[in-house]
Amino acid sequence: MIDDRDVRDAFARMVAAGPPPPTSAAALNAGRRARRRRTLLTTGTAAGGVAAVLMAGAAFGGLIGGGGGTPASTSAATPAPSPTAAPAPVVPGVSPAEARAIAARCLALVKDKWWTPAARARLQLFNVGATPWGTRYIFYGPTEYLDCLHATEGDYRPDFSTGTSTGWLAGPLTVDRAIADGAPYDRGPGTFTVEGRVVPSVIKVEITYGRSRLTVPVLNGTFMAAMKITAQEVLHGTPSFRALDASGRVVHASTPDDPAHRKPPGCWVTPDGTVVPDGRQPWPGQTCLPAVRWR
């Protein structure tokens, strides 16, 4: 018969065994381990109202869709995006062959049935940028999203979501991935990294997190940014976003106290009635706006 002492000993053995040694599996998750806080949100909601978006398609698939989220009425539908609706994305300094090689290195560590050769072939590089953790490469496919961090030579770390259409946006600006992490565990500065997509009229995005503000250009309908934040902001800060067009007009503002802010609808739907994930579930009878076409 097992007694209390056995449970204590078992706990001690579990802790003493420690984490797994550095392996490909560990490398895959290393980026996540360093993270302090991960935020998935859409800016269609108020700044404080955080909602899961694209990455949530994999993590919280039960939240939206699956037939349960179809609203009772919708506005006029927009045409479905076609794979040939927009030119292939071009990222200066990275050839398509190099992009394919980078995606392959990232996905080499991934054991997920989704990533068939066909799914991998659908990925296209849309953006690239330097962050304190390394260079981030952002790929999209019709139903795939891959964030590939090239940390050091030979060290590639993927984060991805699959199964959610990337052809539509929940409003003029959708955040696909946002993470606040950093100090003081690793005794470095905190960092807020964010990636997302915008409508074609938007040429730059202004991001505010706590007292930090950064304006980044749009590339291939996407934006990405990494900004230093304080430890206080890592825990308590909230990001806000403003999308600007070529004339400087604010197309979208996420915070309610911004004069350009427009109260978002409860939901966005594609012509076939699919709710575009933004973390909220429309209630029966709610009127949704047509989802905004991306590329």
**Applying CB under 8 A, does 76 fall inside the site for another protein?**
no
Shortest distance, position 293 Cβ to another protein, whole Å: 26
Shorter beta-carbon distance to another protein: residue 15 or 97? 15
**Applying CB under 8 A, does 213 fall inside the site for another protein?**
no
**Among 46, 50, 216, 250, interactor with another protein by CB under 8 A:** 50
Shorter beta-carbon distance to another protein: residue 38 or 100? 38
**Among 67, 73, 88, 111, interactor with another protein by CB under 8 A:** 111
**Applying CB under 8 A, does 235 fall inside the site for another protein?**
yes
173-192 residues in contact with another protein (CB under 8 A) are: 177, 179, 183-185, 187
**Among 42, 43, 47, 56, interactor with another protein by CB under 8 A:** 56
Shorter beta-carbon distance to another protein: residue 8 or 249? 8
250 Cβ partners below 8 Å, 6+ apart? 242, 243, 244, 258, 260
**Applying CB under 8 A, does 265 fall inside the site for another protein?**
no
**Among 60, 70, 135, 271, interactor with another protein by CB under 8 A:** 60
Residues lying near another protein in the complex (CB under 8 A) = 1-2, 4, 6-8, 10-15, 17-21, 23, 25-26, 28-29, 32-41, 48-50, 52, 55-56, 58-60, 109-112, 114, 158-162, 177, 179, 183-185, 187, 231-232, 234-235
